[in-house]
């Protein structure tokens, strides 16, 4: 059986190169779920607020649970680790619970939790597992516990009937580099041998055509008038909002409330101002001109632009 992966629709996904690439890599891994001899995983990583979780949510939304006659089919199983865990059994208990089953209480026989997890993955017809904040469950220090975790992830990729996407901070890259320096991991135990090329996300630069295209993607979804690079103040105010939580902030501004009545810039600004108060945690509202002068907005965006340019130059 070959999984049919939908082509990304004309949303923000096709307007931001890195986000589109991350989406495509998730799709490629998803398509491999029924290829036992050629199955791969992928790591999507970056600093907090770069849109990693939002990309995963948008991808998973394309494959909602399906109610069958005797069970619910779960094409994509997503779990976000909220706290640090260092033992495989602790992780399995969390995953089993998320799949809707109470794991055994107390000490269990070796392999029992793994057996239950695999049974549930198969019973729910899971095609893709997305593990978010994966750095939470991979020990910071190299040692036996970290090696056991690495081996288990390798075993899952080798033997599960589904593929795996790992999402995390820059620290998550240790999944792929573990043991390289001191050669404590055999080649066959390297997770990197089982992975597609990782995707590192970073912020969109302000005052670029890519930023304009990104905003117009959201405006298109709410059938609002498009804007151009000349709409500098509005684009800058949106960017200050975006600096808080990236695409999650933009989703709150544009997609959570009824925006069907937006026909001009004034109405758009008023709605953005209201939505920011609802969905943002920041005290100062960039769409409230009495709180945030354009002079302050301009200074904030200029500073962010210069900082990002330096960071990108360092990465090259």
- Least confident range from 62-71, 99-108, 185-194, 246-255: namely 185-194
The domains of the chain are located at 12-201, 209-315
Measured CA to CA, the distance from residue 94 to residue 86 in angstroms comes to 12
Tell how many helices (H) and how many strands (E) occur in the chain. 10, 7
Mean pLDDT along residues 269-289: 94
Question: Rounded to whole angstroms, how far apart are CA atoms 5 and 101?
Answer: 29
Report whether pLDDT(183) > 70: no
Is residue 193 pLDDT above 50, yes or no?
A: yes
Taking the alpha carbons at both ends of the chain, their separation in whole angstroms is 41
**3-class secondary-structure state, position 101:** coil
For 20, residues 6+ apart whose C-beta sits below 8 A from its C-beta are 8, 13, 14
H-helix segments, the chain: 17-31, 52-61, 88-98, 112-123, 144-159, 174-177, 209-221, 232-254, 265-279, 294-315
- Under 8 Å CB-to-CB from 11, ≥6 apart: which residues? 58, 217, 220, 221
In the predicted model, is pLDDT for residue 14 greater than 50?
A: no
**What integer is the mean pLDDT of 267-276?**
96
Average pLDDT over every residue of 289-302: 95
- Mean pLDDT over residues 53-78, rounded? 90
The stretch 240-261 carries a mean pLDDT of: 91
What is the side-by-side strand order in the sheet with 163-168?
76-80, 128-132, 163-168, 42-46, 199-201
Q: Is the pLDDT of residue 9 over 60?
A: no
Q: Which of 137, 48, 52 is nearest to 94 (CA)?
A: 137
The four Cα atoms 55, 58, 59, 60 give a dihedral, to 10 degrees, of 120
12-201 maps to which CATH number? 3.40.50.300
Average pLDDT in the 175-179 region? 80
In the prediction, which pLDDT does 1 show?
Answer: 47
| DSSP at 155 | H
pLDDT surpassing 70 at residue 167? yes
Q: How confident is residue 156, by pLDDT bands cut at 50, 70 and 90?
A: very high
Q: How many CB atoms lie within 10 A of CB 44?
A: 29
* Mean pLDDT of all residues in 288-300: 95
Cα separation, 96 vs 104, in Å, equals 10
Cα distance between residue 116 and residue 70, in whole Å? 19
- Which is more confident, 127 or 35? 127
Q: How much is the pTM? A: 0.84
Supply the pLDDT for residue 225.
92
Residue 4: what pLDDT?
55
CA–CA dist 233, 231 (Å, integer): 6
- Residue 134 clears pLDDT 90, i.e. is over it: yes
Q: Judge contact between 76 and 203, C-beta under 8 A.
A: no
């Amino acid at each position: 059986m070959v999984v049919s992966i939908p082509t990304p629709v004309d949303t923000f996904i096709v307007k931001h190169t890195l986000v589109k690439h991350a989406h495509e890599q998730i799709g490629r891994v998803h398509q491999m779920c029924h290829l036992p001899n050629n199955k791969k995983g992928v790591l999507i990583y970056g600093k907090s607020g770069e849109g990693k979780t939002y990309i995963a949510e948008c991808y998973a939304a394309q494959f909602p649970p399906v109610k069958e006659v005797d069970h619910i089919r779960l094409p994509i199983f997503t779990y976000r680790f909220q706290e640090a865990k260092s033992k495989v059994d602790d992780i399995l208990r969390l995953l089993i619970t998320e799949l809707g089953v109470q794991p055994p209480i107390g000490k269990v026989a070796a392999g029992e939790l793994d057996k239950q997890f695999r049974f549930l993955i198969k019973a729910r017809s899971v095609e893709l597992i997305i593990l978010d904040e994966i750095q939470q469950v991979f020990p910071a220090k190299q040692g036996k516990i970290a090696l056991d975790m690495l081996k288990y992830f390798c075993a899952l990729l080798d033997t599960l009937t589904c593929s795996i996407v790992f999402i995390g901070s820059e620290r998550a890259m240790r999944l792929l580099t573990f043991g390289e320096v001191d050669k404590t991991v055999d080649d066959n135990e390297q997770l990197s041998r089982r992975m597609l090329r990782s995707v590192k996300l970073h912020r969109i630069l302000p005052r670029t055509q890519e930023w304009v295209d990104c905003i117009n993607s959201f405006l298109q979804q709410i059938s609002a008038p498009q804007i151009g690079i000349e709409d500098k103040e509005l684009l800058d105010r949106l960017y200050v909002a975006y600096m808080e939580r990236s695409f999650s902030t933009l989703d709150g501004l544009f997609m959570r409330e009824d925006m069907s009545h937006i026909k001009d810039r004034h109405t758009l600004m008023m709605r953005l101002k209201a939505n920011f108060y609802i969905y943002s945690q920041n005290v100062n509202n960039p769409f409230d001109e009495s709180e945030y002068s354009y002079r302050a907005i301009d200074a904030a965006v200029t500073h962010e632009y210069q900082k990002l340019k330096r960071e990108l130059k360092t990465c090259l």
